Amino acid sequence: MKKLTLLILLLSIQLAVMAYPLKITSWQIDTDVKKLNELNISVDYVNRDTQTIIAYVPDDADYQKILSHGFMAEPMPDQAKAYADSLWEATHNSRDPMRAYYTWSEFITFMQNTATQYPDICQLIQFGSSVQNRPLYFMKISDNVTIQENEPEFRWVSSMHGDEVVGYDLLIRLIQLLTTQYPANTRIADIVNNTELWICPMLNPDGYVAHSRYNANGADLNRNFPLPIGSEHPDGMAWQPETIAVMNHGNEQSINLSSNYHGGALVANYPWDYIYPLTPDNAWFVQAALTYSTHNTEMYNSTQFPQGITNGAQWYIAEGTLQDWVYANNACMDLTVEVSNIKWPASTTLDSYWNLNQESILSFIEFIQQGVHGTVTNTSGEPLLATIDLNSTGIDIRTDPQVGDYHRMLLPGNYTLTVYAEGYQTASADVVVSAAAPAIQNFVLEPIQYTQYGGTVIDQAGNAISAANVRLYYGSSSYETQTSSLGEFEFTSIPAGYYILSISTAGNQGFYSEHFVIGADSGRQIIVLSQPLFLDDFSNGLTQWTVQSPWAVITQNSNQVLADSPSGNYSNNVTLSAALSSPVSLLNAYEAYLSFDLKYNLESGYDYLYVNASADGVTWTSLAIYTGVATTWQNFIFPLQAFEGGNLYLQFKLTSDNMVTADGVFIDNVIIRGLRTDQTVYGDSDSNWLIDCSDAENAFAYSYGDNLISGIDPSPWESFRLQSVDVDNDSLVTATDALYIYDRIEQFASFPVQSGPEIEFSDPGLSLIYSPDQVLGFTLSNPSHLKALTLNFSSPDSLAFTGLVWAPNDPDIMYNLEADNCTVSLLCLNDQFPPSDFLTLNAVTSSQFLHCSGTVNDQPVDMDIMMTGLGEEQPPMQATALLGAYPNPFSGLTRMRYYLSKAETSVTLKVFNPRGQLVRTLVDGLQNKGMHAAVFDGRNEQGKLLANGIYYCLLATPGKTCTAKLLILR
Task: Report the catalytic residues.
Answer: 338
b/e sequence 772-794, b meaning 16+ C-beta within 10 Å: eebebbbbbeebebbbbbbbbbb
Please, are residues 406 and 388 in contact by the beta-carbon 8 Å criterion?
yes
Give the Å distances, CA to CA, from 275 to 227, 627, 631, 907: 10, 9, 21, 83
> Which amino acid, 752?
P
Strand order in the sheet with 397-398: 397-398, 387-389, 413-420, 427-433
**Using CA atoms, how far apart are residues 397 and 395, in angstroms rounded to an integer?**
7
> Which amino acid, 108?
I
What kind and span of H or E run contains 723? Answer: helix 719-725
Reduce the DSSP state of residue 37 to 3 states and report it. Answer: helix
Strand order in the sheet with 849-856: 813-818, 823-828, 788-794, 849-856, 859-866
Which region holds residue 332: left if phi is over 0, alpha if psi is between -120 and 50, else beta? beta
Q: Is the dihedral of CA 861, 862, 867, 869 positive or negative?
A: negative
**Using CA atoms, how far apart are residues 169 and 851, in angstroms rounded to an integer?**
94
**Using CA atoms, how far apart are residues 133 and 145, in angstroms rounded to an integer?**
27
Which region holds residue 86: left if phi is over 0, alpha if psi is between -120 and 50, else beta? alpha
Q: What is the DSSP letter of 939?
A: B
**Using CA atoms, how far apart are residues 624 and 613, in angstroms rounded to an integer?**
10
- DSSP codes of every residue in 142-179: -TTTTS--SS-EEEEEE-SSTT--HHHHHHHHHHHHHH
In this structure, the number of other CB atoms found within 10 A of the CB of residue 917 comes to: 8
- DSSP codes of every residue in 537-568: -STTTTTTEEE-TT-EEEEETTEEEEES-TTS
In this structure, the number of other CB atoms found within 10 A of the CB of residue 906 comes to: 12
Question: Which residues are bridge partners to 480 per DSSP?
Answer: 471
Peptide linkage before 716 cis (omega within 30 of 0): yes
**Using CA atoms, how far apart are residues 256 and 154, in angstroms rounded to an integer?**
6
**Using CA atoms, how far apart are residues 319 and 229, in angstroms rounded to an integer?**
11
Give the Å distances, CA to CA, from 252 to 91, 245, 429, 576: 40, 11, 28, 45
Q: CA neighbours within 13 Å on the CB side: how many for 875?
A: 7
Those residues whose C-beta lies under 8 Å from the C-beta of residue 826, and which sit 6 or more positions away, are 735, 786, 788, 789, 790, 808, 813, 814, 815, 816, 834
Those residues whose C-beta lies under 8 Å from the C-beta of residue 568, and which sit 6 or more positions away, are 663
**Using CA atoms, how far apart are residues 162 and 460, in angstroms rounded to an integer?**
69
Strand order in the sheet with 839-844: 766-770, 775-780, 839-844, 800-802
Our CA dihedral for 638, 644, 647, 653, rounded to 10 degrees, sits at -20
Please, are residues 650 and 667 in contact by the beta-carbon 8 Å criterion?
no
**Using CA atoms, how far apart are residues 316 and 80, in angstroms rounded to an integer?**
22
**Using CA atoms, how far apart are residues 624 and 614, in angstroms rounded to an integer?**
13
What kind and span of H or E run contains 62? Answer: helix 60-68
The residue among 777, 735, 729, 736 whose CA lies nearest residue 753 is 729
